[in-house]
Structure 1
Amino acid sequence: MTDYAPELNLLIDGEWLAAGPRRTAPVICPAHGQALGQLPLADAADLDRALDAAARGFARWRDSPVDERARVLKDAAALLRARAPLIARHATLEQGKPLADAQAEVLGCAGLFEFYAEECRRTYGRVLVRPVGRRSLVTKQPVGPVAAFAPWNFPLHNPARKIGPAVAAGCSVILKPAEETPASALHVAQALVDAGLPPGVVQIVFGVPDEVSRHLLASPVIRKLSFTGSTAVGKQLMRLAADQALRTTMEMGGHAPVLVFDDADIDAAAALLARSKYRNAGQVCISPTRFYVQRRVYDRFVCAFVRHAAEVVVGDGLFDGVQMGPLAHARRPAAIDALVGGAREQGAELLLGGRRMADRAGFYYLPTVLAGVPETARAMNEEPFGPVALMAPFDEPEEAIAQANRLPYGLAGYVFTRSQKTAMQASAAIESGMVGINTTVIAGHDTPFGGIKHSGHGAEDGPEGLEACLVTKTIHEAT
C-alpha cells in the first residue's frame, strides 16, 4: 500500500492545496482497514475561493472555441489511458473493487471524455420560418457553474460523468467527490489540468458533506446541481437547491427488480445475474436485487444462482483471480447484517452467505442469497447496496409487474424471457428509467442514464448529459 498517492489535495483555481492548517480525515483501505493517507477538508474560506474561481472560470470557458473544449477532453482521455495501471491501483486501494474492474473504469472515463469531445460539436439550435425582415433563433448556452456531488462506488466514472459534459458545454464545475475515495477523483482532475484545462474551470473540494453542500448551494454563483447518491441525501439537496431555483440532475437510489419468466434460458440467466449481482460487491445503484421468478422454474433458477454465487472469489482486489472485493467502508457490513437478520426473522431462508468474513481484517461480506423473502422485510423495501440477492416466486405476469412497481424507486429493471411479446409488454410496464432484456448491460457513453420516481430525474451520459448542462434561449429579431 506504500504506492498510494502520497499527497492528497484540494484543487481550487488551478492550484493544488495541501492539508496545511486544515482539518483532515483518514482515507481507509477497505481491504485491510488501515489508513492510506490524510485528506484535507475544505473550510469556508476554501469554498468561497472555489466559488469565486468557478465564476471567473465560467466567464472564460463559456466563450471558448468548441475545438479547444474537444482538444482538452481528448487529451485528458489519452492521459487517463496512459496512466490507467497506476490510477486503477489507487482506486482499488481506496475503494476495494478488483483491479480489473478499476482498470475498466479508467478506460470508461476516457471513453466518456472522448464521446463528449465529439458531442460538444453538436450543440445545435435552429432558425425558425418567419416573414421577410424578421428572424427567430433558438440557441443553446452553457447553464453556468455546476455544483456536483459524486459517491464512492464508482470513484472514477462518477466524477467523469459530472465533469465531462459540463466542460463540453462550456460550464465550470465545483466537484465534491466522496471522502472515502479521493485519489481517484484527483486523478481525473489531474488529467484535465495536464491537458490544458484553464484554472477555475474545475475545482475539487472535500469536506463534511452537509457543510459543503449548504455552503455551495446557498451561493448565487451556482446555477446547477448534479448529484449521485442516496434518495434521502438527494431530497435534502433538492430542498437546498429550491431556495436558489437551481436546475437539478438527480441520480438517486434504486432497488432493481428482475423478472425471470418460465420460458427464459434459466441456466444462462442465473450465471449472468450472479456475476452482475456481486459486481462491485453489490454496491451498484442498478444492481439486480429483487428477483421475481415464475414459480415453475423458481427452484431451478435459485439452485443455479446459488451455485454460481458460491463460486465468486472474494478477497483483496489487488490479487489475481479475485472477483469481489470488500465493502467500501466500515459501516456497510453492519448495515447488511441488519437487513439480512431482519429478513430471516420474518421467515426468509438463508441459502448462502449472510455473514462477514471473520478471518479478514477488512470490510468483507460473503455473497448472500435469501429465498422466500416476504415483501414486508426491510431488505425488500430498502436498497441493500451490498452483496445480497432476494428471491421470491410469482405465478402470473401481472403479479410480477405489480411487485416490480411496488416501491417508490425507478432506476433500473431487468426482464429475462425468450418471448418477444413478453419482453415488450414487461419492459413497457416496468416503471424505471432503464430496462435490460436478457442483459444486465444498460449503460453506455451514448445512452442516457437516469431514473424516475424517487430514483431521481434528468439523465447523465449521451446527448442528454450534455443537454442537462445547457439552457435554451430564443432570440427574435426584426430589421
Structure 2
Amino acid sequence: MELPTGLRIGGKVVPGRGPRLDVLNPSTGGVLAVADSADEADVEDVIRVAQETFDSGVWSRMPIHERSRILHRFADGIAARMTELYELETANNGRPLTETKAQITRLPEWYRYNASLLLADRDAVVPMPGPYHSYTTRLPLGVVTILASFNHPMMIASKSLAPALATGNSVVLKPSEQTPLTAMLLADIAHDAGLPDGVLNVINGLGPVVGAALTQHPLVKKVVFTGGTEPGRSIAVAAAQRFAKTTLELGGKSPVIVFGDTPVDVAARGAAFAGFVGAGQTCIAGSRLIVHRSLHDEFLAALATIAENIRIGDPADPATQLGPVISAKARDRILATIEKSGARVVTGGQAATVPGFEDGFFVQPTVLADVTNDMPVARDEIFGPVVVVIPFDDEDEAVRIANDSPYALGSAIWTRDLARAHRVASRIEAGMVWVNDHHRLDPSSPWGGLKESGIGREGGWESFHDFTHVRAVTVRTAPDDVDWYGGIATGRLN
C-alpha cells in the first residue's frame, strides 16, 4: 500500500514546512518511509483550523445522537482496515505482529464505549434551597492536543482521542516522529466515517519543535502526553501557566510482588510477560520483581529459562515473541545501563543477532540479580527488556520495597491468598494494581499513575468528563420578582 506521509489539517493532506524525516523499520534499521514534518507555522495553521472548526459548532454543537453514530462508523472503519493497521504498526515500531494484533484489535471498543457514554451521560440536579431549580451541564473544552508515544501508537492515541471526540472537542494529534504512519492513516479513516473536516488533525514533527509549540499554544485547552517524566514536567508547567488541563502518563518502574504461596512456574511466566512484553518498552512494564526469599533462587532459574527461550526475530513473523527496541540509540542506552548496573547478569545483557536482520535494534531479554532497591537499575526506568529481582522476607518488607520508588503507575501481586491480595493491594502506592496478572486494560477502567508517573486518568467516566467543563445553571422559580434592596431591612435573601 502507499504509506501515508503528509500532514492532515482541516480534512486535507498537506506537506509540512519542517524537514522531511526518515521513519525507520527498527527490525532492519532501514528507512520505511520519509514523512513530512511540521514547523511552528504549521502549528499555528492547525490550531487555527481546529479552533475555527470548534467555534463553528459543526461538531461541538452537533446533536449527541448524531455524534455518537459517527463515532460508531469510525469504529467500523477501524475494524474494516484492521489488518492494514496492525501490519503497518508492526513495521513501524517493531512490536511482534501477534502482540500488536492482540492489542489494536480492541481499538474499536474505545470509540464505541465513549460513543455510548455520550448517550448515557446525565446532568445532575443540585438541591439548592429556596425557590430555585439548579442543575449542571457539560461543555467541551475546545482544542485538545494529544502527544502520543512510539511504543503503542494507536492505542495510546485512541485512549484519549475517543473521549475527546465524543465530548465535542477539536483535536490535534501529534504522534511520535518515530512512528507517525498509523496516526496519519487513522485520520483518513475518521474522514471517511464522516467526521467533519478540522475536527481531527494529525501533524508529525520533532518533539522539541512541534510538541513544544502545541503544548505552549494559548488556544490549547488540554494537553494529553505519554512519555518521559521530565518532558511531562515541562508540559505541566507550560499548561499551568494558562490554566489548561493535562493528562500525563509518564515514567514507571512497576513492582511485581511474588509471595511464597505462588507456584514458581506460574509466577515466572507471569513475571516474564510483565517485564518483556513489548520488549519492555511500556511505562507499566513489571521491571522490579520483588520475590519472597523462599522462592527466590528457584524463581530466578525458572525466569532465566523462559527468557533464554523467548523467540527473538522478525516482528512480521507470527512465531516471533520479542522484537527490536525502537532505535539504535535506545539499544545502546539499554546495554550501557546493564553494563554499569553493578548487578549480576543471570541471562541476557547483550545485543541479539537475528539472521537476516543483523542491522536491527534487538536486545536479549535480560534478568539481573543481586540487586537492592537503592541501586539505580532498580530505581530508574530502563524502557527495555530488562528486569531486576529483589528478595523480601515478609509482607511489610515487600510493601515497603514496592512503594520505595519515585514512580507509581502500575503494580502486580502474585498470591493464592485472597485476603492477602486485597490487603496488599490497599497498601500499594500505584494508580493500578493487578492481582495474578499484569498489563490489562479496558475502556471502562481508569488508567494512570501517582507521584512522578503522572496525573489524570485515561478510560472510564474519569477520562470522559475530564474533556469537559462543568457549567451550573440556576433558575429562579418564585412568582415574585427579585427585590434585594427593597427587602434589605428584613435581612431576607429571597
Q: Same fold (TM over 0.5)?
A: yes
Distance in 1 (alpha carbons) for counterparts of 2:212 and 2:279: 31
2:12 corresponds to which residue? 15
1:227 corresponds to which residue? 225
Bigger mean CA offset, 267-276 vs 405-414: 267-276
The one-letter code of the counterpart of 2:348 is G
1:31 corresponds to which residue? 27
| Contact 1:217–1:244 (8 Å) recurs in 2 | no
Q: Which stretches in structure 1 are left out of the alignment for 5+ residues?
A: none
Report how far residue 287 of structure 1 moved: 1.0
| Contact 2:5–2:34 (8 Å) recurs in 1 | yes
- Corresponding position: 1:477 with 2:472: no
Matching residue within 173, 182, 189 for 1:175: 173
Matching residue within 402, 405, 416 for 2:403: 405
Distance in 1 (alpha carbons) for counterparts of 2:333 and 2:184: 29
2:352 corresponds to which residue? 357
The one-letter code of the counterpart of 2:11 is G
Matching residue within 257, 260, 265 for 2:258: 260
- Corresponding position: 1:202 with 2:173: no
1:127 corresponds to which residue? 125
Map 1:438-449 → 2, pairs under 5 A:
438-449=436-447
Distance in 2 (alpha carbons) for counterparts of 1:441 and 1:175: 24
Map 1:73-472 → 2, pairs under 5 A:
73-130=71-128, 133-343=131-341, 346=342, 348-358=343-353, 360-472=358-470
| Contact 2:9–2:46 (8 Å) recurs in 1 | yes
Report how far residue 385 of structure 1 moved: 0.9
What's the CA shift string for 1:448-479, capped at 9, x where partnerless? 00001111111001221211101111111214
| Contact 2:27–2:324 (8 Å) recurs in 1 | yes
TM-score after normalising by structure 2: 0.93
2:40 corresponds to which residue? 44
Structure 1 vs Structure 2 CA RMSD: 1.5
2:484 corresponds to which residue? none
Q: Which stretches in structure 2 are left out of the alignment for 5+ residues?
A: 478-494
| Contact 1:342–1:377 (8 Å) recurs in 2 | no
2:53 corresponds to which residue? 57
Distance in 1 (alpha carbons) for counterparts of 2:102 and 2:6: 25
2:487 corresponds to which residue? none
Bigger mean CA offset, 98-107 vs 242-251: 98-107
Percent of aligned positions that are identical: 32
How many residues align structurally?
A: 472
| Contact 2:274–2:287 (8 Å) recurs in 1 | no
Distance in 1 (alpha carbons) for counterparts of 2:215 and 2:282: 27
Distance in 2 (alpha carbons) for counterparts of 1:332 and 1:150: 18
Report how far residue 441 of structure 1 moved: 4.1
The one-letter code of the counterpart of 1:308 is I
The structure whose Rg is larger is: 2
| Contact 2:68–2:166 (8 Å) recurs in 1 | yes
| Contact 2:290–2:390 (8 Å) recurs in 1 | yes
What's the CA shift string for 1:233-282, capped at 9, x where partnerless? 10011111122111111111110001111111221121122133211101
What's the CA shift string for 1:143-181, capped at 9, x where partnerless? 221111110000111111221110001111111110111
